[in-house]
């Protein structure tokens, strides 16, 4: 039986257990990320950047600990990285339904494709950093695409 501390770690790492979804746990975790984004979003760039930095280090720490509890490297149940990646996707873009839907779709595509350097971090870097860094880059790519949509006025 996991300790209270381990249960808290697993609750956070699995995105309130969304990572246990039998189908597409990464997508389920990203949906939780949408909810968290809606709760913590700030139009102030300094505040949002502070939230992202805090989430990055929290995600690395939590996913590293969850990996040890689950006894599985980069377990599919760990989705805190998808939550963080979606938050990166939504950085400095308008907080509207259109951008949230596009951001969700773009992030999932880039998270699945794992374009360099995401694939490098996914395959070569172990522990919490390896779990989170590939989603950081998927979020950056999705964000760049959203910025393009914004720039061209769609």
Span 36-71, pLDDT tens digits: 999 999 999 999 999 999 999 999 999 999 999 999
Q: How distant, in Å, are the alpha carbons of 110, 131, 137, 147, 154 from that of 82?
A: 11, 10, 11, 20, 26
- Quote the CA–CA distance of 42 and 39 in Å, as a whole number: 9
Give pLDDT, residue 30: 97
Q: What are phi and psi of 147, to 5 degrees?
A: -60, -35
Give pLDDT, residue 103: 98
Look at residue 154 and tell me whether its pLDDT is greater than 70: no
Percent of the chain scored above 90 by pLDDT? 88
Beta strand extents in 31-117 (DSSP E only)? none
Give pLDDT, residue 80: 97
| Mean pLDDT (whole number) for 125-140 | 94
Tell me what the pLDDT averaged over the chain comes to: 94
Give pLDDT, residue 125: 86
C-alpha torsion sign, points 78, 82, 83, 84: positive
Look at residue 84 and tell me whether its pLDDT is greater than 80: yes
* Band of residue 112 on the pLDDT scale cut at 50, 70, 90: very high
């Amino acid at each position: 039986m996991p300790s209270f501390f381990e249960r808290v770690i697993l609750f956070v790492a699995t995105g309130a257990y969304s990572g246990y979804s039998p189908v597409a746990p990464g997508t389920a975790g990203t949906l939780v990320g949408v909810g968290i984004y809606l709760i913590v979003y700030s139009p102030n760039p300094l505040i949002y950047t502070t939230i992202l930095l805090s989430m990055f280090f929290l995600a690395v720490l939590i996913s590293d600990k969850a990996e040890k509890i689950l006894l599985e490297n980069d377990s599919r149940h760990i989705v805190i990285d998808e939550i963080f990646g979606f938050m990166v996707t939504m950085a400095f873009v308008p907080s509207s339904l259109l951008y949230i839907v596009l951001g969700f779709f773009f992030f999932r595509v880039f998270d699945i494709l794992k374009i360099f350097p995401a694939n490098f971090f996914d395959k070569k870097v172990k522990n919490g950093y390896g779990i989170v860094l590939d989603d950081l880059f998927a979020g950056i790519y999705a964000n760049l695409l959203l910025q393009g949509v914004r720039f061209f006025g769609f």
